[in-house]
Structure 1
Amino acid sequence: MERKAKLEEIEALRGVAFLAVVLQHAIGGLFAQPGLLSLSVSLGTTFLGLIRFAVPLFVFITGVVLFYNYDRSFQYGRFLKKRGQQVVLPYLFWTLFYYAWVSVRSGGAIIGDWGDLLHVLELAFTGKASYHLWFMVMIIPFYLLFPVFRLLLAGKRPASVNLSVTIGFLVANLILVYALSKGYFQSDQPILQTLYRYLDRNFLFWTFYFVLGGFAGLYYERWKKAMQSLWGVSLAITVLFLIYIGTKIWGINQGAAAGDYLTSSYVTGPLKPLMIVATLAMLPVLFYTIQRLTSKPTKMGFVLTVIGKYSFGAYLVHAFILRYTNLLALNVLGILGVYIQTLISFILCACISVGLGIGFRRIRNRWRKARVGVDRGIAG
């Protein structure tokens, strides 16, 4: 495959998505504590709505990178091998890690019998080893089915046709999430019950973001110009969205001594028609902001790019780190209030996770070099 120009904005966008994920999970761990004022919970869950773009942005970035890099030559076997090494194997390792971690914390055996081994396999297929690993179960099918998506969205076709395909996926996704929000996916059949239980990690509910990313990857320079022209409208819609959800969330918590975090957070659940439209509306201002930060050397742009570069390993480990930073915030920093608690836990978790991500990458690179050296020695 011919090496193409590096997409400077995309690495920084990936860094933003990672930080948004960590902040979401920090908010979820600390704003769910009992006794918080309803105003605090309302403000926290309204802000949560602002950063709900995290997972859609990750899926969008995956589409951008794949369609940008593989717009012409494509060898499926080599592609799968590379993704298996870079994505699937780390996921399986961290599935086993989180399973072992939970087993040790609960005082049980790590692998006691065949039943435990089958349970690990179940966790790998469902992403239930840790609350954040569902994303891996959702994203892997996009790699497996990438040749199919390349048939649906092709650079050799007119841009208007590809745009129509993208809009078609938007409509289909809106219909799917609307049906999900209305509870239409229900059945008495055991197989369908199991399937419906994991709809949040079914890639079909996220395909629009991947296809939109693919469209952006095919016409990347034109996409950047479009984001530059739309950022003002995007910002205005984002402000209106925050006002709308803030009012709705305050209506849930108003009049109560303590806020209801779980009910409040459901208002901005990612698999809702409202959030698909809101995420799509936020994207231009988010993309344009990152363009400005990366078009010239800036400290913020550099930091976000570094975070994005090591975000995959950091994402996999961050749930482990966040448990302890949240415990620190709850047990030691309680006097500071929930806002400062969340900020400190978020910063500590993000920094430690990225640091470990850098370490993981270096270990992997050294292992690869050592393996190449052994293979050359055998060949010689």
Structure 2
Amino acid sequence: MMRMSTKKKERIEEITLLRAFAFLAITMQHSIAEYIYRSDILQSDAIMLAMLFDFTRFGTPTFVFLSGLLLFYNNNGKLSYWPFVRKRLMDIYLPFVCWTVIYWIAVQWLAFGQLGNPADWPRTLLHELFLPTYGYHLWFIPMIFQYYLLFPLFALVIQKVRQKLQAKPGEASFSRVFMIVAVMGALYGILMWLSSYRMPDWAADWGGFWASALSYRSYYFVFYFFYFLLGAVCAYGIQRWRRFVEDGFVWFGFAFIALYIWQGHEILNHSTETINLNYAGYLRPFTFVLIVSQLLLLYGVVWIVQKRGGAARKMFRFIGTYSFGGFLAHAFVLMLISTITRPLALTGYHLPVAVLTFVLTAAGSITLAKLLSKLSFGRWLVGTTGKQANRNRIDARPAQQTFPQ
């Protein structure tokens, strides 16, 4: 157990790189979704796109992990709730509202050539703010915002656990943390099993309000809590976490390869004329285990890239810096690209065109985020960027670590 220290907390450089990888993974998923269900796609292209899709499932859980990491790492135990929430409203929720309106206008105009009946605008816009469908990726913002609203409660629980762990010496403390995480992982796995194999039947049997509530379960923070917990574990023992992912790097790699091959087999085994990507859903127990192994492996990769530096680190740092704005904008850029690709006959070329679409979408959305950040009202559209977005440390205050350093 560490003694009290007055040194500044170090800047966690790998956070920005992880943001970049998460953004690229989500962009790849949505680019693949644009092509994989087209009627003229060849089976070989569909299979390869399914494998790429399965490879990128870590994107959203990684963003949840990073949210937990940053919230707990920057928490000094003196949280002023309303300033805390107000800052997140300005930096995260306001851009979400602006892009919700943009997607609402864009989809209405493309689909109907007009904005519909003005009398319906309040109802449809209100629906999009809580259950986004036009900006299909924006569901993540209301979900992650639940963690911000409830953060004082999470911080209190974690603090109580830490106080008990601090009575134990270093490695004994780490072993206890590992056991706690394992137990929570088992509970989360049970939740994923219920989500996959019981909740659909409950929705059908119960009907009414409960059917609607269960059908939107992917919008609830509780269905992603384990990744948030991993972020807290990393935050309170960053050096020990780094050693853990370095020491287990090879084993995480073997585990991921085995799980990835098996899940790919499951996807293909349950597919008929079209690929069934439901078997790669976030809320499935096997996908959960796959994502955790990949997240640990990815952190190791990022830690290696961070230490070696070079052009790769610079590129991923740039992407990570503007990843939030890029995330909000990428579906809009993809929508523009799809107006060109959808009329085309692409038989035999869906795989390369999907990859090209991914490259153009990622580059276009990051560029757009960079340009928007230069505007006087850019914060409304892309949040804070540059130094503010990368400020992954806090002022010097007494800090106490649960894990040995």
Could you say which TM-score interval applies, normalised by the shorter chain? 0.7 to 0.9
Alignment check: 8 A CA contact 2:36 2:49 kept: yes
The answer to whether residue 198 in structure 2 is matched with residue 183 in structure 1 is yes
TM-superposed deviation, 1:143: 0.6
* 1:203-222 equivalence runs, <5 A: 203-222=221-240
Which one is further off, 239-248 or 4-13? 239-248
How far apart are the structure 2 equivalents of 1:200 and 1:34? Answer: 28
How far apart are the structure 1 equivalents of 2:268 and 2:190? Answer: 28
* 1:125-140 equivalence runs, <5 A: 125-140=130-145
- State the Cα deviation string for residues 254-295 of structure 1 (Å, max 9, x = none): xx6xx412x1x1121111000111111112221111111111
Normalization by structure 1: what TM-score?
0.88
How far apart are the structure 2 equivalents of 1:336 and 1:35? Answer: 8
Match of residue 99 from structure 1: 104
Match of residue 12 from structure 1: 17
How far apart are the structure 2 equivalents of 1:233 and 1:328? Answer: 44
TM-superposed deviation, 1:213: 0.7
CA gap 1:3/1:122 in 2 versus in 1, 3 angstroms: farther
The answer to whether residue 361 in structure 2 is matched with residue 349 in structure 1 is yes
Alignment check: 8 A CA contact 2:45 2:348 kept: no
TM-superposed deviation, 1:205: 0.4
How far apart are the structure 2 equivalents of 1:319 and 1:49? Answer: 19
CA gap 1:36/1:114 in 2 versus in 1, 3 angstroms: closer
* 1:1-380 equivalence runs, <5 A: 4-107=9-112, 109-110=114-115, 112-154=117-159, 155-158=162-165, 159=173, 162-184=177-199, 185-186=202-203, 187-253=205-271, 259-261=273-275, 263=276, 265-331=277-343, 334=346, 337-364=349-376
How far apart are the structure 1 equivalents of 2:155 and 2:235? Answer: 12
CA gap 1:129/1:364 in 2 versus in 1, 3 angstroms: farther
Normalization by structure 2: what TM-score?
0.83
Match of residue 371 from structure 1: none
How far apart are the structure 2 equivalents of 1:206 and 1:23? Answer: 21
TM-superposed deviation, 1:298: 1.4
How far apart are the structure 2 equivalents of 1:367 and 1:93? Answer: 11
Local SS of the residue matching 1:363: coil
TM-superposed deviation, 1:246: 2.7
Local SS of the residue matching 2:98: helix
TM-superposed deviation, 1:247: 2.5
How far apart are the structure 2 equivalents of 1:303 and 1:25? Answer: 22
CA gap 1:143/1:247 in 2 versus in 1, 3 angstroms: same
How far apart are the structure 2 equivalents of 1:272 and 1:5? Answer: 36
TM-superposed deviation, 1:14: 0.5
- Gap regions ≥5 residues in structure 1: 369-380
How far apart are the structure 1 equivalents of 2:187 and 2:357? Answer: 38
How far apart are the structure 2 equivalents of 1:366 and 1:85? Answer: 12
Matched residues, number: 361
The amino acid of 1:58's aligned partner reads F
